[in-house]
Structure 1
Amino acid sequence: MAWVYLGAAAIFEVIFALSMKYAEGFTRLGPTFVTVVAVVGGVGFLTLALKSLPVSIAYPVWTAIGTLGTVAFGWLMLGEALTAVKLVSAVAIVAGVAGLKLSAA
């Protein structure tokens, strides 16, 4: 169940990052509300996941999924550039998280 909580936390993390962009410095009420709910959801589910997962695994996985999701949706939804450097960096993030997970086995 901890991995399900971590997955939910990561989804909220992506929503949080994207909604901050739409909140325009907290000047737009709807996106600001979504941002606050996403922060609470992300940290809340992460906390539940940490009840049984080591922090040295759960936190990097959470931030990595949040980072990768934000890069992907920034490209898809916001028209941000998806450069070779961004793609190589994303692969490096995945490799780093995979390394952490393997080291815990």
Structure 2
Amino acid sequence: MPFVLLGLAIAFEVTATLAMRASEGLSRLWPSLIVVAGYLISFALMARALTSLNVGPVYAIWSALGTVGAFAGGVLLFGEPVKPVTIAGAVIIVIGVVVMNLGGGVHQS
């Protein structure tokens, strides 16, 4: 169950980040409301997941998948450019998360 909560937290965080882009500097009401609600829900879900998971690896997973999700969403929704160096950066981030999890895992001892 904590991984489901983490997955939902990531989804809400990515949604909020993409809504921030759509809000045009928080000047559009509905996207701005999605930003606020998305981050509040995301933090609440992550806090709940952290009651049984280790903070370091969980934050690494959350930030890495959030980064990759925001990158993919920016490309798909806003036509942002895809460059080989950007893809390489995303791959490096994911590799870093895998290495972190090999070092101790995410479950609390």
**Coarse TM-score class (shorter-chain normalised):** over 0.9
Where is the helix percentage greater, Structure 1 or Structure 2? Answer: 1
Query: What residue in structure 1 maps to residue 2 of structure 2?
Result: 2
Matches within 5 A, 1:8-23: 8-23=8-23
- Tell me the distance in 1 between the aligned counterparts of 2:73 and 2:25: 19
- Tell me the distance in 2 between the aligned counterparts of 1:65 and 1:16: 14
4+ runs of 1 displaced by more than 4 Å? Answer: none
- Alpha-carbon RMSD: 0.7
- TM-score between the two structures when normalised by the length of structure 1: 0.97
Matches within 5 A, 1:1-105: 1-105=1-105
- TM-score between the two structures when normalised by the length of structure 2: 0.94
**SS in structure 2 of the partner of residue 53 of structure 1:** coil
Among the aligned pairs, what percent are the same residue?
A: 38
- Number of corresponding residues: 105
Q: Deviations over 1:19-69 (max 9, x none)?
A: 001111111100000000101011011101100000011111011111000
